[in-house]
Amino acid sequence: MGALSEAAEERKAARLLAGLGLLTLKLNVQGQVGWPDRLVVLPGGRVLFVEMKLVGGKATARQVLVHRALRGLGHRVETCSSAAEVVALAVEASE
């Protein structure tokens, strides 16, 4: 069986994170582009922004700018290519 699409991996990650008791939100900021695909709400008032890309996929120039701005405000932004990678990052960030 081949690799899942970005959207399918993102949905799988959301299901797995929900199973761990973590909240996730699909980001669709109306009128704005470049925002990460998903926001993972972590314990302790922390959040993790996740950009999903297939292996070898690259962020657009606008995504790079938005990610840089979020990081500049102290937020963690990660690019992941699989649901397993998202879950591992969220678990690590929750500790």
Q: Domain spanning 6-94 has what CATH number?
A: 3.40.1350.10
pLDDT for 37-78, tens place per residue?
999 999 999 999 999 999 889 999 999 999 999 999 999 999
- Locate the domains of the chain by residue range: 6-94
Distance CA 7, CA 11 (A): 6
Measured CA distances, 63 to 33, 37, 50, 94 (Å): 8, 10, 11, 25
pLDDT value, residue 2 = 54
